[in-house]
Structure 1
Amino acid sequence: MSIETGSHHAQGVTSTGAHHRERRLGVASVTMMIIAASAPLTVLAGGVTTTFAVTGLLGVPLSYLILGAVLTVFAVGYAAMSRHVTNAGAFYAYVAQGISRPAGVGVSLVALMSYNLMQVGIYGLFGFTVSSLLSERFGVDIPWWVPVVVCIAVVAVLGVNRVDLSAKVLGALVALEFLVVIVYDVVSFAVAPEGVSAEPLSPASLFVPGVGAVLSFGIAAFMGFESAAIYGEEAKEPERTIPRATYTAVGVIAVFYAVSSWAMAVGTGPSQLFDVAGKQGPDLVFTFLSGHVGQIVADIAQVLFCTSLFAALVSFHNAVARYFFSLGRERVLPSWLEATSRHGAPKAGSLVQTGIAVAVTVAFAIAGNGADPLYPVLTMFTWLTNAGAMGLVLLMAIVSAAVVGFFRRRRNLARGAWSAVIAPSLGAVALAAVFGLIVANFDVLLGQTEPSALSFILPALIVLPGIAGVVWALRLRRTRPALYQRIGHGVESGAEGVAAHHLGEDDADQPSH
């Protein structure tokens, strides 16, 4: 039976694997989960300062508006498809039903790797930030990996509990982050040592050599917005909740980051912005608040910087766990990954993601024993999150193409050429261009002056699982045809019983029955 109220199987393409999972999430909850993954204070203190320092371009605020427009166009097709495909595997299910099952399995492994890289990489920055805060404020010196291990344990507990518990925790933290950043913005515009100028919003400040690096850094600020569909099986009225949450998140993120980065340029002063950002890094925000608002506010902001990272960790953890669940349910990965807790959360997937986080943290801790204090930031955080962002941009470009294929094969579902063809086609081209810019500027993102082994190893971590997934799916088509037919369809009614004679045709051409 369909899990979408009143949808009558959504013409046979809605996945129904989580009928036992209670629907608890509304638009606000899903939006908070998305924005939490984007980590507002982390983007301002870490991402914006780094972008100004590395690129030396003043047009960073405009880049957020442009990227927001690109992702809004992507979201048109993405949201249209989410009304008909409700699956915790999101990208995986969309590509399997819009392009082909082998492509879907390949995309699923790229998504798993990308989300894991993003999630585990953030632990590096979290560990450094917490250990530094404890040392500066309380004189307690502990290795960076100690707070990481504690955090992994807390995230693991939330991961196997009710998803709305995670949403409430993240909602409270994100609200406080927004408050601090708004205070920073208001004071920055009020202080404005060189006056309030609109130059950071002018095209002439952005479209110069180096624009590729700005867009490459900027796209990472939006990572997580595409995760709305992952919660489709736990959302109330997903056909309405998911599109609304996606549009809301993109709009809020784009405008908020544009205004905040503009405020940083104005509050610091354009003439000295790049030098100060390069020397102070994330401390630029906290030093500014300390000097103009008070040390207490600055201290609160530093604590919220830590909780901002924590919120992103919980959000990405939830995304990874649901991918594992979806792939285990369809037997593309071991079936035990389908296990859920008594709260309906993907318990097995959550525990596997926790294990991965522990293993990678231990590896970096051993490799960096006695190294520079910034080691977890310069390696674990920088390497893994940039590779993860690269993978997610590639996935969004592929999903845009899948939307076109999905509605071309199911013309009766399309609501018009704009959402079914034009918007996703434009999204595919624009995101492919952004992906190309990331590849071209990958050395810059890693803080390197010339290519090294990492320049090839990290992209390979994204691409090779995708190739392996395609090969694995083709093997399943030959050896386990019934299982192959279920790929990308959850436990949708009739998925197991699709006649074997369909196997000789491209599966995406065959609507589910």
Structure 2
Amino acid sequence: MSATTEVRAGSAPDLRPGTLGTADIAFFVVSAAAPLTVMAGVAPIAIVLGGIGAPAGYLLAGITLAIFAVGFTTMSRNVRSGGAFYAYITRGLGKPVGMGAALLAMIGYNGMEIGVYGLLGTATADTAHALWGIDIPWLPVSLAGLLLIWWGGFRSIDFGAKVLGVLLVAETGILLLLAGGVLIKGGASGIGLGSFAPEHVLVPGTAAVLAFAFSAFTGFESTVIYRREARDPSRTIPRATYIAVGFLGLFYAFIVWTVIQAFGDEAVVAAAGDDPGGLFFTAITTYVGGWAADLMHVFIVTSILASLLAFHNAINRYGLALSEEGVLPKALATVHPRHRSPYVAGIAQTVLGAVVVLGFAAAGADPYTQLLLWVNTPGMIGLMALMLLAAVAVPCYFRRVSHREGRMRTVVAPVAAAVLLVVAIWLVVSKVALFTGASPLVNTVLVVLVPAVFLVGIGLALWLRRTRPEAYAGFATEPNE
């Protein structure tokens, strides 16, 4: 998502320039995060692995990204690109590293999206059983979801934003209703803050919680994607970034903490382990009522669809940008004349998703513990590595250009963020078996895939520099370059 992604006439989304304020952009980022999917669909596993200290993992991820945002948003004031991380990485670390980052982003977002089709299948099957007592296989649901998400992306970004708005209000409301019921009734054994005590936070399982927590912020870079549509980018983007990160970090931690109170510190880990998919539904049935659990069943499916649509649109924009810049086949840059959507890129992404989903189904894989967690793992690590590269790029960029920014923003904060991200990535990689439950061979493949893709991107850049210098020169350039 370089400058070419959003700025070139004819390929830009149908949001009009200068129409989005701080709240609008923050809304897009929070919508992409799909809070109910993160909470009811994934947070129970975080509790199983991290214990009652799981809420702290979400806070730690939020704090790390808030520090990262200091340098990131400072750079956004000085780089007019409407692009995301790889455009910034290119500015700071050069085109080869930037192209490696671009491919890393493609793998990261594809991994995060395609794996969620497994969650869509299991969550829909659970909903059908809970509401109507019928059992449906997960594969047809996942394939139908692929077609539905393709159609949503085909209809345009503006259409997707309207859908996301409705779903965000519904899913946030049901989670707050659950939290209110727990707090009003005092939980299972009183309200306590044991989740934030050091002896519950500084445990090996916290590394696995960090993996879930960072994946919950995957819409983070969306703030700069909307630079072209922002009314006052130098002010709007930083504000929207801090609001989105602050809200998500606090909201995730708060909801997980209230669910822990619903069962009690002594019982919640066992409850989550016995029935991770039903943890939130049991809590809301107990503290609010069965009608609320029925609503939550419906909303978790719609929340997953919202998450998938946000990922799909982000991937399409990357495909559009890289094809316009000559890195990917030019056909992917084709924009629908009516809907103004990169529909060929959308078709390609949908076909890739179908191949992966069908491959896992043919192998008899579990849609949750294997399709979701295995495919998400390289995606999540890849996006964390992308943020690390972006943090390193900030001081490198400001060393080469004249500016009026302070050292706190251009050196101290980004270096601190880079250190924190290195620690987080190391913790996740070293404890990846807790996250995937897979064999050492599978875990090695999932982890090694990330640096392998990055190196392929660097190799592609060097090949383009030698064989197609015009494509290499135009990569991630700004409009006046």
| TM bin (shorter chain) | over 0.9
Query: Residues 93 and 104 of structure 1 are in contact (CA less than 8 Å); yes or no, is this contact kept in structure 2?
Result: yes
In the TM superposition, 1:240-255 aligns within 5 A as 240-255=235-250
Q: Answer whether contact 1:29 1:171 (CA < 8 A) is retained.
A: no
Once residues 202 and 226 of structure 1 are traced to their aligned partners in structure 2, the CA distance between those partners, rounded to angstroms, is 31
1:231–1:150 Cα change, 3 Å: farther
2:414 — aligned with what? 424
Q: Which residue of 1 aligns with 2:225?
A: 230
Q: What does 1:214-225 align with in structure 2 at a 5 Å threshold? A: 214-225=209-220
Q: Does structure 2 retain, via aligned residues, the 8 Å contact 1:322–1:346?
A: yes
AA in 2 matched with 1:261: V
Equivalent residues in 2 for 1:330-479 (5 A)?
330-341=325-336, 342-368=338-364, 375-412=366-403, 414-448=404-438, 451-479=439-467
Aligned to 1:424, the other structure's residue is in SS state: helix
Give 1:236 deviation, angstroms.
4.5
Q: Distance in 1 between matches of 2:449 and 2:198?
A: 35
Mapped to 2, the partners of 1:446 and 1:112 lie a distance apart of 21
Q: How many angstroms does 1:235 deviate by?
A: 4.3
Partner of 1:171: 165
Cα distance between partner residues in 2 of 1:336 and 1:421: 41
Note closer, same or farther for the CA distance 1:415–1:19 as it changes in structure 2 (3 Å cut). farther
Counterpart of 2:136 in 1: which secondary structure?
A: coil
For each residue in 1:207-256, what CA deviation from the matched residue of structure 2 results, as whole angstroms up to 9, or x when unmatched? 23433233233222222222322333454444443322221110100111
1:385-427 CA deviation, whole Å, 9 max, x = no partner?
Answer: 1221111111100110111112211123x52212221111111
Amino acid at match of 1:421: V
Partner of residue 308 from structure 2, selected from 297, 307, 313:
313
The 1:307/1:190 distance shift into structure 2, 3 A limit, reads same
Distance 2:21 2:347 in 1: 26
* Offset of residue 455 of structure 1: 0.9
* Cα deviation code 1:172-228 (max 9, x no counterpart): 101111111111111112231211112212233212343323323322222222232
Q: State the percentage of identical aligned residues.
A: 36
The answer for unaligned runs of 5 or more in structure 1 is 1-12, 496-513
2:101 aligned residue: 107
**Aligned mate of 2:191, from 182, 196, 204:** 196
Does residue 23 of structure 2 align to residue 32 of structure 1?
no
Aligned partner of 2:42 in structure 1 is 47
Change (3 A) 1:16 1:270: closer
Number of residue-to-residue matches in the alignment: 472
In 2, are the aligned partners of 1:58 and 1:265 still within 8 Å (CA)?
yes
Q: Deviations over 1:18-58 (max 9, x none)?
A: 24434344433432332233221122223321111123x32
Deviation string for 1:331-352 (max 9, x for gaps)?
Answer: 1112222222233332232222
Q: Which residue of 2 is the match for residue 4 of structure 1?
A: none
Kindly indicate whether residue 201 of structure 2 is the aligned counterpart of residue 206 of structure 1: yes
CA-CA distance at 1:16 after TM superposition: 7.0
Contact 2:284 2:290 in 1 (8 A): yes
Q: Does 1:269 align with 2:264?
A: yes
In 2, the alpha carbon distance for the partners of 1:364 and 1:222 equals 26
Counterpart-to-counterpart distance in 2, 1:347 and 1:397:
31
TM-score (normalizing by structure 2)? 0.93
Cα pair distance change 1:349/1:81, threshold 3 Å: farther
Partner of 1:68: 62
Letter in 2 for 1:387: P
Query: 2: CA distance between counterparts of 1:116 and 1:297?
Result: 33
Return the letter of the residue paired with 1:216: A
Alignment partner, residue 138 of structure 1: 132
RMSD of equivalent CA atoms: 2.0
Q: 1 or 2, which has the higher helix percentage?
A: 2
Distance across 1 between alignment mates of 2:210 and 2:86: 26
Q: In 1, Cα distance between the equivalents of 2:286 and 2:6?
A: 55
CA distance in structure 2 between the aligned counterparts of 1:338 and 1:398, rounded to whole angstroms: 26
The residue aligned with 1:23 is: 15
Q: Take 1:242 and 1:477, find their aligned partners in 2: how far apart are those partners?
A: 33
Q: Is this contact kept in 2: 1:18–1:233, CA < 8 A?
A: no
Gaps of 5+ in 2: none
| Whole-Å separation in 2 of the counterparts to 1:336 and 1:46 | 36
Name the residue aligned to 1:327.
Answer: 322
CA contact (8 A) 1:14 1:85 kept: no
Scaled by the length of structure 1, the TM-score of the pair is: 0.87
Deviations 1:417-448 (A, max 9, x none): 12221111111111111011111011111024
Give the secondary structure class of the aligned counterpart of 1:222. coil
Query: How far has the Cα of 1:15 moved from its partner?
Result: 8.1
Q: Report SS of the residue matched to 1:59.
A: helix
Structure 2: distance between partners of 1:39 and 1:222: 10
Query: Structure 1 379/161 Cα, relative in aligned 2: closer, same or farther at 3 Å?
Result: same
- Indicate if the aligned counterparts of 2:76 and 2:224 stay in contact, CA closer than 8 A: yes
Give me the whole-angstrom Cα distance separating, in 2, the residues matched to 1:320 and 1:35. 17
1:225 match: secondary structure: coil
Residue identity matched to 2:15: R
In 1, distance between residues paired with 2:441 and 2:408?
A: 43
Give the structure 2 partner of residue 488 of structure 1: 476
Q: CA, structure 1 residues 398+362, in 2 after alignment: closer, same or farther (shift >3 Å)?
A: same
Q: 1:185 to 1:384 in 2, by over 3 A?
A: same
